[in-house]
Structure 1
Amino acid sequence: MNRQKEKVIIHVVDDDYGIRAALNRLLVHAGYDTKLYSSGADFIEKYDHSPGCVILDLAMPGLSGEHVLYEITSARFNLVVLILTGHATISTAVKLIKAGAVDLIEKPFDNEQLLGKISKLLDSAQSFFAKNILIADYQRCLSSLTPSERSVMELLLTGMTSREIADHLHNSKKTIDIHRARVMKKMHATSLRDLLEGWIRLNT
C-alpha cells in the first residue's frame, strides 16, 4: 500500500447514503482509509484536525457544501477539498476554487477520474500539510505565552531591542530580558529569525 494513503483520511461528506456507500467501497478498495458523514454539521463537529482530503457534496440540506468549505478555509483545517456536484457551472467552479476548494468533479462521476483527482490532490498537498502542521505547532507555543510575554514578543518582532521594549513598556531591562528568554524557550526559537519566520507563516 502507498505510504501516502496511510497518512491521510478521505472524508466523504454527502447526505445521500447510496453515494456515501459507493464512494466508501471505491476508496477502501483503492487502499484509502475513509470516514463518512451524512451532513456538513456532522463533519465539522467530528473532524480531528489531522491531514486529509474531503470529498464534499455541494447541495446538502442544513449546512451547505459552500458553508462547510467556508468553515474549512476560515479555520485553516489541514485539508484539501474535492467538491462533488451534480450541477456545476464555470462560474460556480471559479467561485469555489477561489474560496478554497482545490478541485471539482461532477456527478455522475467516473471512478477512475475521481481516483485520479484524489491522487493528484494528495501528491500536491504534501507541502500544504507540512506547512499547516508547523502553523499548528506555532499556535500551540503562542498560546503558552503569558500576556506580558506575548507583548514582549510582538515588540521583538518589530525589531525593537530589549532596552527599547523596556522603555516602551515602562519596565526594567532585566525584566524584559527574562520575558525575552522565556519567549524564546516557549516558542522553541534559537533566534529572532526563527520567531519571525513562524509569525510570517502564521499570517500568510
Structure 2
Amino acid sequence: MNGTEKERLVHVVDDDEAMRDSLQWLLEGSGHHVRTYADAASFLATGGLSGSGCVLLDVRMPGMSGLELFEELRRRELPLPVIFITGHGDIPMAVRMLRKGAVDFLEKPFSDAQLLDRIEEALDRSRTWCERQRRRQEIERRLASLSQREREVLTLIVAGRLNKQVADDLGISIKTVEVYRARVMEKMACDSLAELVQAMTWWEEERVRPWGQLE
C-alpha cells in the first residue's frame, strides 16, 4: 500500500458482519481503502497499528469493547482518529469520548453523507497527527545525538543565558561555550537561536499535549 492509499485507509471494527459489508461497500465506492475486523482483538493483532488512516469503531462488541479499544489507542498514542458508531444512544458516554479526542459519535441509523463527512475530517486529523509525530521524533532523534555537555549548553541558551553566563554556570571558558553552542546548532539543524528556541518550545508543548487535541 503506497502513501496515498495509507492516507485514505479506514479501519472498520464491528462485530456485525452485515454492517461491516455495508460500510466497506460505501467507503470503497467513495474512494477509500478499507480493512474490516470482527472484534477489537483482531484489529490489535492484524490492524494497521503504524498509525495510518482512521478507525470506524462500534461501541458494543464481545470481548474488548469499542471504548476499551479507544483507550488502548490513546495509551499507545497512535495517530488513529476514532469515529464511534452505536445503536445505543448514550449522550454522557458520547460527551466523554469526544472530550478524550474522538472525532464524533454517530448513532445508527446515520446518513451516508454524515459518515463520509466525518471520515474526511478524521483523515485530515490523521495527516496532521502523523506530521506532528514525524517532527517530534526527528527532534528527539537529534536531541539523542547530543552529548551530556551539549544538552546542558542547549538548556541554558534556550533559557536565554548569554555565553558568559553559560560559561560561569558550567565552569568552562567562553570559547568552549562557543564551540559547544556551534555543535548544538549543527546537530539540531537550526540556523539561528530563534529557530532553536521555537523548535524546543514546540517539542515541549507536544510532549504534554493530550491525545487527540489539535490546538
* TM-score between both structures, scaled by the size of structure 1: 0.76
Alignment-mate amino acid for residue 48 of structure 1: S
Distance 1:89 1:186, change over 3 A: same
What TM-score do the two structures reach when normalised by structure 2? 0.73
Deviation at 1:90, TM superposition (A): 1.9
Q: For 2:55, give the aligned amino acid.
A: V
The equivalences for 1:70-149 within 5 A come to 70-73=71-74, 75-122=76-123, 130-149=131-150
- Structure of higher RCO (CA pairs closer than 8 Å, 6+ residues apart): 2
Deviates more, 1:29-38 or 1:88-97: 29-38
1:8 aligns with 2:8: yes
1:55-93 deviation digits (Å, cap 9, x = unpaired): 122234444433433344455433332112222322112
Contact 1:5 1:31 survives alignment (8 Å): no
- Higher mean alpha-carbon deviation, 144-153 vs 183-192, is at 144-153
**d(CA) in 1 for partners of 2:72, 2:164:** 43
**Structure 2: unaligned runs, 5 residues or longer:** 207-215
- Determine helix, strand or coil for the equivalent of 1:79: coil
Superposition pairs of residues 1-204 of structure 1, within 5 angstroms: 7-40=7-40, 43=43, 46-50=48-52, 52-73=53-74, 75-122=76-123, 130-202=131-203, 203-204=205-206
In structure 1, stretches of 5+ residues that fail to align are none
Cα RMSD between the aligned structures?
3.2
- The letter for the 1-side match of 2:51 is H
Which moves more between the two structures, 190-199 or 122-131?
122-131
SS class of match (2:105): strand
Q: Percent identity?
A: 37
Q: Deviations over 1:106-150 (max 9, x none)?
A: 234333321122134445766555444433433333333334333
Distance 1:106 1:151, change over 3 A: farther
Q: Which amino acid aligns with 1:31?
A: G
Count of matched residue pairs: 201
1:39 and 1:159, CA in 2 relative to 1: closer, same or farther beyond 3 A? farther
Q: Which 4+ stretches in 1 moved above 6 angstroms?
A: none
